[in-house]
């Protein structure tokens, strides 16, 4: 089959823009909601620095259970089922249940619990001694979150975020069924239904390049911020030593 290269480039460019728009907006929502949700799953847990909000451990345990339940439900549903189940909510948010922007809502909701669990895992790996040191220095609970927990776990959070973005790319390939377009929809329509092998191969190559670029960027940023986390750890230790010397 003779290939119309100009049409191929145009179609892939349009589909790439649609995929980029879906993922870009969903990334912002995932970061803004998934990061605090993951942190709350740690600090509200038993032994966490916020296990007793307003002086009530029962309240903290209840909130933690509810958040954990919501996250587990969100992770349990396949993307297509989730997108269909929340059609009324999607229509309420964006005014329609079809099209590119209608796909952003289920994409974001699908990615938030996934990213939140990765944030939770990253924050739980922070050395408890650093939290104790910051507490002894008089830091407030939210100060410990902002100056210890998040900076120390930032490299792992970055890797988790880019893993979530790659998952969003996979989800977006299934968004064509609600008219969102994108690379997955192009591969299905032109490559599979019309038996155009060139389209299919081109989309596969583009997706592989995007994933490799995202993973490389995530690893680069994680390495860079790992050095920053080491410096932050040193500052906490130095502050504690200074306080000990002053007290003596």
- Position 221 scores a pLDDT of 92
197-247 and 5-43 helices, crossing angle to 10°? 30
At residue 146, the pLDDT reads 87
Residues in Cβ contact with 177 at an 8 Å cutoff, skipping those fewer than 6 apart: 80, 83
Query: For residues 20 and 179, what is the distance between their CA atoms, to the nearest angstrom?
Result: 15
pLDDT of 4 above 80:
no
Backbone angles phi, psi at 12, to 5 degrees: -65, -40
Q: What integer is the mean pLDDT of 7-31? A: 90
The separation between CA 57 and the C-alpha centre of its own chain, rounded to angstroms, equals 29
Percent of the chain with pLDDT over 70: 90
Q: What CATH homologous superfamily does 5-247 map to?
A: MetI-like (1.10.3720.10)
198-217: average pLDDT: 91
Better-predicted residue by pLDDT, 238 or 13? 13
Question: Span 131-148, mean pLDDT?
Answer: 84
Domain extents for the chain? 5-247
Query: What pLDDT score does 92 carry?
Result: 92
Chain position carrying tokens 């728009």: 21
């Amino acid at each position: 089959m003779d290939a119309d290269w100009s049409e191929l480039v145009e179609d892939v460019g349009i589909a790439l823009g649609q995929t980029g728009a879906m993922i870009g907006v969903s990334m912002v929502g995932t970061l803004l909601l998934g990061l605090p949700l993951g942190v709350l799953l740690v600090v509200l847990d038993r032994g966490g620095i916020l296990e007793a909000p307003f002086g009530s451990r029962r309240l903290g345990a209840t909130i933690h259970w509810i958040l954990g339940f919501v996250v587990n439900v969100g992770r349990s549903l396949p993307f297509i089922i989730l997108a269909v189940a929340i059609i009324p909510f999607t229509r309420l948010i964006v005014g329609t249940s079809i099209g590119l922007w209608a796909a952003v809502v289920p994409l974001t909701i699908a990615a938030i619990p996934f990213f939140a669990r990765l944030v939770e895992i990253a924050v739980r790996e922070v050395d408890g001694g650093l939290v104790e040191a910051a507490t002894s220095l008089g830091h407030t609970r939210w100060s410990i979150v902002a100056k210890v927990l998040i900076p120390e776990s930032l490299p792992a959070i970055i890797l988790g975020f880019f893993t979530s973005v790659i998952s969003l790319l996979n989800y977006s390939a299934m968004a064509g069924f609600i008219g969102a377009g994108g690379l997955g929809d192009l591969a299905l329509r032109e490559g599979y239904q019309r038996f155009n092998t060139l389209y299919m191969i081109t989309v596969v190559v583009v997706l592989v390049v995007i994933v490799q670029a995202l993973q490389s960027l995530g690893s680069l940023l994680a390495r860079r911020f790992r050095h920053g986390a080491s410096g932050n750890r040193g500052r906490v230790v130095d502050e504690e030593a200074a306080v000990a010397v002053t007290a003596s």
